[in-house]
Chain A
Amino acid sequence: MVAPVVLVIGVIIGFPLVRGVFLSLTDANEANVQRDIGVNHIPATYKFTGLDNYTAILTDDVFWNRLGWTVLWTVACVSLTFLLGLTLATMLNRTLRGRTFYRLALILPWAIPAFISVFTWQMLYNEKSGLLNKLLAGGGIDAIPWLNDPTWAKLSVIAVNVWLGVPFMLVTLLGGLQSIPGELYEAAEMDGANAWQRFRNITMPGLRAVSSTVILLSTIWTFNMFPVIFLLTRGGPGDATEILVTYAYRLSFVNSPRNFSECAAWGVLILVLLSAVAVVYRRALRKQGEVW
């Protein structure tokens, strides 16, 4: 009965993956791969180059610089999103008037396609005509070069990504919270545990399974969060907000002919990095007695 699963995974994941790995070991680019355009037949003339692409990437400062910022960006985004999501989820996990309204309002960012949100933010951030600076001007504060200064641009992209990511955290953590039996809290209260003790000893362990999964997922997504960076700053100013995936894109799709092999090598490296993170993370959880 396993055959269909194997087949589907092979077709939709296996083939592209193997093809990507193969391309990363060649010098294939837009000009030397085989294609037929109308009457033009262009034969494949790329060749196998072994690990050349990988050596070139790993010996270049650019890779390590970008990796540094990508890690910082991921850690900042995931921790802020998680903390905010957890706080909001805890606040919503009780009976209060208009709970449905709050929940809906908080899920709203999720319902809007990411690129629309990003464009809206881009308008808000506009240094000369954006709403944020107009508000600051109203308070007598000088305009802030949101996307035109390396440091501000970094903070700005993190803010947008956190804004986009909180609803997911909120929903999943709220689900986790609701699966914790209320009796535990009642019993703890009877034993005289205060709010913090209840949170520390009931909520946190109860949420562990959910939170470990969402943190891992969120890490993977944020690490590869192309649209926020690309649409908001295109990696700029300069290359200040460039993460690995946007850099790979710039390298491989902005220049011509597009370098498929180099792009594939970047893809494989990113995959390897994320797989390593996932393995290490799982090990760490297992050591804490988590079955995952």
Chain B
Amino acid sequence: MRRGIPGIRGITATALVAGLALTASGCGGSDGNGTANSGGELSGTVTFWDTSNDAEKATYRKLAEGFQKEHPKVHVQYVNVPFGDANAKFKNAAGGNSGAPDVMRTDVAWVADFANLGYLAPLDGTPALDKTADYLPQAVGSTRFKGKTYAAPQVIDTLALFYNKKLLKDAGVPVPKTFAELKAAAKKIKDKTGATALYLRGDDPYWFLPYLYGEGGNTIDAHSKTVKIDNAAGVKAFAAIKDLVDSKTAITDATDGQENQLTALKDGKVAMAIDGPWDIEGARAGQAFKDKKNLGVAPVPGGSTAQGSPQGGWDLSVYAGSKNLQAAYAFVKYMSSAKVQQETTDKLSLLPTRKSVYQIPAVKQNEMVTFFKPAVDRAVQRPWIAEGNSLFEPIKVQMNKVLTGSATPEQAAKATGAAYRKLLKDYK
């Protein structure tokens, strides 16, 4: 879950894609009809919706267009779609049968949902899935739905604690292992450095998960079909975020958290923030990290009973209605190949999903990989159900309410549970 701001770029992109789709379906001749020509050579256009952020997109564009070197007759139409818009945009296009991309970089929480609606092409037995034994087993989890594979894992990630080494050193406090330690260190940090200890993302429900897992809670249990969020652990988790803000350990916002958090961290206004590998490059561009080594990364602090952060990442999926399936499969194969994954690690410090890539010395020595790999290995897998992504909105509303004081933690947990039962009709 990374929040993007819908804007002109998104709208232009839709227009562009819609235009292209019309042109493609209009001419319909040999160029874009979806199969390899007589020589077995791929041709036509592959439209790729990339959801990477501003700091990452130039690299992704270059990588995507690199596909054309291997297949000179294929034209890659790269479109950057802000993460915040991508889900709705894809559904509108796919459901309306016009303007959907051939390949999309899909959030792990979306794959089951899209597959359930019939929007994705199953990839089993196609060239898209290449050397599947090489994938990390936990990365494969989100690509499967009802016994079929609907995506190829491209990037895996999890949340971690980003910290400003200098600020913690000046304050004379160690890197906190629990939120209680973090809270205890907050006053020292404020007094000695003037910075607030933590930025707490109050606008994005994904960031609520470490607090929930830290209290031993979870959203739902898909096996026993039970809603879990309104139990005691859920209540404690809502109370935990409220306590961090009330005690002035953390600052927060109900909107614009992505931008505000990164700015606060970059400018040294906060000593710590919970963030993921996608913001490594963004953070390092800031004043506080002119010396790149000043950015430290540690596991997400634990709660009162446990410690855990959600496993996230990105998969590559193919639109079932693609006019050029063969080229789309080849493109997925290329974008999830070891070579491309290695490059995203080199340039963006993103984590590969292939075991073999972790064996490459440059990747092995990447400081962020050395930290994030063990973290990813222990990250909590979310329930990969069709409604998985819909579980976030009720949390968002309620965490906002708790943080602004318009609901108690008990009320918030209860309301979230009620919303889940409306959503998941057969859950207790």
Interface residues of A (CB under 8 A from B): 30-31, 35-40, 42, 115-116, 119, 122, 126-129, 147-150, 153, 231-234, 236-240, 250, 253-258
Contact = CB atoms under 8 A, between A and B. Distances in A.
B424 to A, nearest CB: 11
Given A30-B117, A148-B404, A255-B423, A233 B389 contact: no
Contacts of B117: 30-31, 256-257
B386 A256 contact: yes
Given A38-B320, A129-B260, A150-B406, A255 B397 contact: no
A37 B94 contact: yes
Given A128-B260, A236-B397, A237-B400, A257 B253 contact: no
Contacts of B406: 150, 237-238, 240
A260 to B, nearest CB: 10
B181 to A, nearest CB: 25
B95 interface: yes
B95 A30 contact: yes
Nearest to A258: B91
Given A31-B116, A37-B94, A250-B393, A233 B6 contact: no
Residue in B8, B393, B400 whose Cβ sees the most chain A Cβ within 10 Å = B400
A31 to B, nearest CB: 6
Contacts of A238: 254, 397-398, 400-401, 404, 406-407
The interface residues of chain A, by DSSP majority, are classed as: loop
B157 to A, nearest CB: 22
Kindly list the 6 A-B residue pairs having the minimum CB-CB distance in the complex, ordered from nearest: A238-B401, A237-B254, A38-B321, A238-B400, A237-B400, A255-B390
B119 to A, nearest CB: 6
Contacts of B322: 38
A37 B97 contact: yes
B190 to A, nearest CB: 16
Interface in B372-405: 386-387, 389-390, 393, 396-398, 400-401, 403-404
Interface centre among A40, A149, A233 (most CB of B within 10 A): A40
A33 B219 CA distance: 29
Contact of B401 (A38, A119, A237, A255): A237
Given A126-B260, A238-B401, A233 B390 contact: no
B264 interface: yes
B76 interface: no
A238 B400 CA distance: 5
Contact of B255 (A42, A129, A233, A256): A233
A250 B254 CA distance: 17
Contact of A128 (B119, B264, B320, B390): B264
A257 B116 contact: yes
Contact of A256 (B113, B251, B254): B113
Nearest to B113: A256
B255 A147 contact: yes
B254 A40 contact: no
Contact of A253 (B5, B88, B119, B319): B88
Interface string B112-123: 010011110100
Contacts of B95: 30, 35
A148 to B, nearest CB: 4
Given A250-B393, A256-B389, A36 B254 contact: no
15 contacts: A35-B118, A37-B319, A116-B8, A119-B7, A128-B264, A129-B263, A148-B202, A148-B255, A234-B255, A237-B254, A238-B404, A250-B393, A256-B386, A256-B390, A257-B386
A261 to B, nearest CB: 14
Given A42-B118, A148-B404, A256-B113, A126 B256 contact: yes
A43 B202 CA distance: 41
B403 A30 contact: no
Contacts of A148: 202, 252-255, 404
Interface in B268-324: 269, 319-322
A233 B260 CA distance: 15
B121 A38 contact: yes
A254 B389 CA distance: 9
A257 B121 CA distance: 18
A150 B404 contact: yes
Identify which of A37, A40, A254, A258 gathers the most chain B CB atoms within 10 Å of its CB.
A37
B390 A37 contact: no
A237 B116 contact: no
Contact of B253 (A37, A38, A128, A234): A128
A36 B256 contact: no
A250 B203 CA distance: 16
A36 B320 CA distance: 10
Contacts of A35: 95, 97, 118
B97 to A, nearest CB: 7
Nearest to B402: A238
A148 B121 CA distance: 42
A37 B264 CA distance: 45
Contacts of B390: 254-256
B313 to A, nearest CB: 19
A243 B110 CA distance: 27
A237 B91 contact: no
Nearest to B399: A238
Nearest to B269: A128
A129 B263 CA distance: 9
Nearest to A146: B255
Contacts of B119: 37
A178 B88 CA distance: 47
Given A122-B255, A237-B255, A238-B400, 4 more contacts: A38-B320, A38-B325, A231-B6, A237-B401
Contacts of B404: 148-150, 237-238, 240
A233 B256 CA distance: 9
B57 to A, nearest CB: 20
Interface string B25-66: 000000000000000000000000000000000000000000
B91 A30 contact: yes
Contacts of A239: 397, 401
Contacts of A147: 253-255
A116 B119 CA distance: 32
A147 B254 CA distance: 7
A223 B119 CA distance: 35
